[in-house]
C-alpha cells in the first residue's frame, strides 16, 4: 500500500510479475499503433537500426537508472528524489515526470478509446457485412468508407469522449485494486494474451501473397531517406525509444519502488527492453507484409491502423474476424500502458498528499479526464500532446542519467544494482560510462536539434 493507506507498502510478488508489469507499461500502442507508422514514414529498416541503437545505448541505461532511484527510495518520483537528495532541487525531475504522465495519459487514453470503438464496430461489421455491401466495393470505395467512419467518429466528439471515459474507468479500477492484486494480476493475464494474438496475426500476414516485400521493407535498410532528412528520423527514433519503453516520465521509478530487493535490476531492465523491442518488431511483421500485399503506402501516418488496415482486413479471407482480433490486441496493449501511467499520478497524490489509493485514483482520473476531453475536442491540442513525448521524455531521461552518473554516490547505485551484493555487477563500469557521458551527451544534442527543427517548422523564415 502507499502512504495514506494503513499497512505495509504494496509490492510485486514475483519476478514474472515485475517483468510482466514493467513490460506491460512499455508494450502498448507505442509498439503496435505508433511504431509501424513512424517506421513507415522514416525508411523502415534504416529507422529500425537507429531505434535499436538508441534502445541499447540509451534506453536500457535510463531504465536501469529509474529502477535504481525507485527501489532505493521506495517512493513516487517526486518523493524519491526528495529522499535521496534532501534539500536539493532534484525533485523537480520527478515533478517533470508527473506532468509528462498527465499529458501523455490524456492523449494516450483518447487513442486507447478509439480501439474500443473499432472493437465494437468490427463486431457490427461482422454481423452486417452483407447489408453494408463490403464485397461489392473496390479498394478505393473501401478506403473511403473507413475514412468516412474514422473522420465521422473523430469529429462526432461524444463517442470519443464516451470510449475515453470507459477506458479511463477500467484503468482506474485496476489501479485502485493495488499493485499486486491489480497491476500485477492483470499484467500476468493480458501480456500472454497480447503475445498470442500478435503471433496469430503475424502468421496470417506473412502468408499473404506479396507479403515478402513488407518484410524486406522492415528488415533491409534503405538509407536514402536518412540522407534526405537525417535530423527528423534520428529525433523520431529517439522519441519512439523513450515513448515505447515508458522512460523519462517516472513510470519506471514508480514501478521500481515496488520491486523487491532480491530482484536483479539489470536483468529486469534488459528483459523488459528486449520484450518491448521484440513486440514492436513483431507488430511491424504483422502490419507491413499486409500493407505491401495490398499495395498500400507504408507511410500512411497515424491513420494506418484505423483506415488502411480495415481495408486490408476486408480483402483477406475471414478478414473481419482478423480485424476483431487485431483491435482486441490493441485494447490489451493500451490498457497495460494506461495503468502504468495512471499509477505514476496516483502514487504522487497518495504519498505526497497523504491520500488513500482510492481517493488519489479518483482525483487523478478527474484531472486527466479534463485534459482528455480537451484532446478529444481539439485536433490541435491532441497534436501538441501527441508530439510532447519526443521532447518531454528525453528531457526527463537526461536529468535522470545526470543524477545517477554525476550526483548519486557510486557505492549507492552499485549496491542497489547488486541487491546489496547478491548479484554480480561486472557491467557496472560500462553502465556508469553510458550514464555519465554517452546518454546525456546524445540526449542533449538530439534534444537541441529537435527543438531547432520544430522552431524552423513553425517559423520557416527564421532559417
Domain ranges of the chain: 15-462
- The backbone torsions φ and ψ at residue 138, rounded to the nearest 5 degrees and listed phi first, read -85, 180
The predicted-structure confidence for 295-314, as pLDDT tens digits, reads as follows 777 766 667 778 777 877 77
Banded model confidence at residue 241, pLDDT cuts 50, 70, 90: confident
Q: How far is residue 194's CA from residue 325's CA, in Å, rounded to a whole number?
A: 10
Other beta carbons within 10 Å of 306: 23
Contacts 24+ apart (CB under 8 A), 312-321: 314/134, 314/137, 314/142, 315/139, 315/142, 316/204, 316/208, 316/290, 320/122, 320/125, 320/126, 320/129, 321/126
Q: How far is residue 190's CA from residue 238's CA, in Å, rounded to a whole number?
A: 27
15-462: CATH topology is Amino acid/polyamine transporter I (1.20.1740)
The predicted-structure confidence for 362-406, as pLDDT tens digits, reads as follows 999 999 999 999 998 888 888 888 777 777 888 899 999 999 999
CB 29 within 8 A of CB 330: yes
Q: How far is residue 379's CA from residue 369's CA, in Å, rounded to a whole number?
A: 16
CA 337 to chain centre: 6
Please give the residue that has the higher pLDDT: either 414 or 12: 414
CB 20 within 8 A of CB 191: yes
Banded model confidence at residue 6, pLDDT cuts 50, 70, 90: very low
The mean pLDDT of the chain is 85
Q: Specify the residue for cell string 543524477.
A: 403
Q: Specify the residue for cell string 519506471.
A: 252
> Could you tell me the sign of the dihedral formed by the alpha carbons of 404, 266, 396, 260, in that order?
negative
Helices (H), 353-423: 357-377, 379-387, 389-402, 410-417
- DSSP letter for each residue of 333-350: HHHHHHHHHHHHHHHHHH
Arithmetic mean of pLDDT, 207-224: 85
- DSSP letter for each residue of 272-294: HHHHHHHHHHHHHHHHHHHHHHT
CB 64 within 8 A of CB 231: no
Of the candidate ranges 253-257, 317-321, 340-344, the one whose mean pLDDT is the lowest: 317-321
Banded model confidence at residue 183, pLDDT cuts 50, 70, 90: confident
Q: Which of 89, 88, 111, 91 is nearest to 99 (CA)?
A: 91
Q: How far is residue 165's CA from residue 160's CA, in Å, rounded to a whole number?
A: 9
b vs e for 363-375, b when ≥16 Cβ sit within 10 Å of the residue's Cβ? bbbeebbebbbbb
The yes-or-no verdict on residue 196 having pLDDT over 70 is yes
- For 127, half-sphere exposure in the C-beta direction (CA atoms, 13 angstrom radius) is 6
b vs e for 204-235, b when ≥16 Cβ sit within 10 Å of the residue's Cβ? bbbebeebeebbebbeebeeebbeeeeebbbb
What is the enclosing helix (H) or strand (E) of 144? helix 139-156
Banded model confidence at residue 132, pLDDT cuts 50, 70, 90: confident
Please give the residue that has the higher pLDDT: either 268 or 287: 268
What is the enclosing helix (H) or strand (E) of 30? none
Banded model confidence at residue 457, pLDDT cuts 50, 70, 90: low
Report the pLDDT value the prediction gives residue 460, as an integer from 0 to 100: 60
Amino acid at each position: 500500500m502507499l502512504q495514506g493507506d494503513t499497512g505495509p507498502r504494496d509490492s510485486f510478488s514475483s519476478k514474472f510479475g515485475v517483468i510482466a508489469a514493467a513490460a506491460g507499461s512499455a508494450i502498448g500502442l507505442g509498439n503496435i499503433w505508433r511504431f509501424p507508422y513512424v517506421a513507415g514514414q522514416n525508411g523502415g529498416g534504416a529507422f529500425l537500426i537507429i531505434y535499436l541503437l538508441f534502445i541499447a545505448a540509451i534506453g536500457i541505461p535510463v531504465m536501469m537508472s529509474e529502477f535504481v532511484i525507485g527501489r532505493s527510495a521506495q517512493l513516487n518520483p517526486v518523493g524519491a528524489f526528495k529522499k535521496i537528495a534532501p534539500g536539493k532541487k532534484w525533485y523537480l525531475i520527478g515533478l517533470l515526470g508527473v506532468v509528462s504522465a498527465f499529458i501523455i495519459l490524456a492523449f494516450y487514453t483518447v487513442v486507447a478509446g478509439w480501439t474500443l470503438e473499432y472493437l465494437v464496430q468490427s463486431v457490427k461489421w461482422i454481423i452486417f457485412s452483407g447489408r453494408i455491401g463490403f464485397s461489392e466495393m473496390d479498394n478505393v470505395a473501401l478506403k473511403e468508407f473507413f475514412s468516412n467512419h474514422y473522420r465521422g467518429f473523430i469529429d462526432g466528439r461524444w463517442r470519443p469522449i464516451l470510449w475515453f471515459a470507459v477506458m479511463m474507468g477500467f484503468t482506474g479500477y485496476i489501479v485502485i485494486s493495488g499493485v499486486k492484486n491489480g497491476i500485477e494480476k492483470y499484467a500476468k493475464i493480458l501480456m500472454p494474451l497480447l503475445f498470442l494474438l500478435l503471433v496469430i496475426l503475424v502468421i496470417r500476414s506473412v502468408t499473404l501473397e506479396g507479403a515478402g516485400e513488407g518484410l524486406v521493407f522492415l528488415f533491409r535498410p534503405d538509407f536514402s531517406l536518412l540522407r534526405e532528412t537525417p535530423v527528423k528520423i534520428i529525433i523520431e527514433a529517439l522519441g519512439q525509444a523513450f515513448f515505447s519503453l515508458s522512460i523519462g516520465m517516472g513510470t519506471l521509478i514508480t514501478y521500481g519502488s515496488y520491486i523487491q530487493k532480491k530482484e536483479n535490476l539489470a536483468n529486469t531492465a534488459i528483459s523488459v527492453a528486449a520484450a518491448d523491442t521484440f513486440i514492436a518488431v513483431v507488430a511491424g511483421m504483422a502490419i507491413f507484409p499486409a500493407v505491401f500485399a495490398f499495395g498500400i503506402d507504408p507511410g500512411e501516418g497515424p491513420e494506418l491502423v484505423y483506415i488502411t488496415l480495415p481495408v486490408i482486413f476486408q480483402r483477406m479471407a475471414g478478414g473481419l474476424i482478423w480485424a476483431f482480433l487485431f483491435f482486441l490486441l490493441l485494447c490489451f496493449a493500451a490498457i497495460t500502458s494506461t495503468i502504468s501511467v495512471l499509477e505514476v499520478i496516483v502514487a504522487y497524490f497518495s504519498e505526497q498528499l497523504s491520500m488513500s489509493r482510492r481517493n488519489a485514483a479518483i482525483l487523478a482520473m478527474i484531472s486527466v479526464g479534463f485534459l482528455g476531453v480537451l484532446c478529444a475536442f481539439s485536433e490541435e491540442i491532441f497534436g501538441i500532446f501527441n508530439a510532447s513525448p519526443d521532447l518531454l521524455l528525453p528531457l526527463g531521461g537526461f536529468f535522470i542519467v545526470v543524477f545517477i552518473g554525476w550526483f548519486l554516490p557510486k557505492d549507492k547505485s552499485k549496491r542497489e544494482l547488486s541487491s546489496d551484493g547478491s548479484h554480480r555487477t561486472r557491467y557496472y563500469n560500462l553502465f556508469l560510462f553510458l550514464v555519465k557521458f554517452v546518454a546525456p551527451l546524445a540526449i542533449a544534442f538530439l534534444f537541441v536539434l529537435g527543438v531547432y527543427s520544430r522552431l524552423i517548422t513553425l517559423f520557416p523564415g527564421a532559417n
